[in-house]
Amino acid sequence: MNWHITFYNDKVEQATLSFPAGILANFLHIAEMIEEFGPALGLPYTKSVGDGLFEIRAKGKEGIGRSFFCTVKGKEVIILHSFIKKTQKTPKKELATARKRLKEVKS
């Protein structure tokens, strides 16, 4: 059985699907790989950020997009939060949003 990707809510889906074209294309490519092979792809596609939270590392000529996700029972991957990276380090606010949603999903 293949993996299934869902979004935390409509707002997250909108944010993700409104990535600039190049970043979105890379995101969709990685998402397809996750659905086929599972979320443990490793770098350069996915990376653990700890406590059951992972990120999809999408790149394009327009910059870098990040989508935080977690896995839940069965083979479901939930995209918790997506944003366009503007600095080298992931902003604490973006990580805090993802961690908060992770708690809600896992509780």
pLDDT at residue 95, rounded to an integer: 96
pLDDT at residue 73, rounded to an integer: 83
pLDDT in tens, 50-74: 999 999 999 999 999 999 999 988 8
pLDDT at residue 69, rounded to an integer: 98
pLDDT at residue 107, rounded to an integer: 82
pLDDT at residue 106, rounded to an integer: 87
Total domains present in the chain: 1
pLDDT in tens, 17-54: 999 999 999 999 999 999 999 999 999 999 999 999 99
- The model's pTM is 0.94
Structure tokens at 1: 């059985």
Phi, psi of 13 (to 5 degrees): -60, -45
Q: Give the range of the structural domain holding residue 52, as residue numbers without chain letter.
A: 4-106
CATH number for the domain spanning 36: value is: 3.30.2310.20
H helix intervals, the chain: 10-17, 21-37, 92-106
pLDDT at residue 104, rounded to an integer: 95
Please tell me the number of Cα atoms within 13 Å of 15 on its side-chain side.
Answer: 18
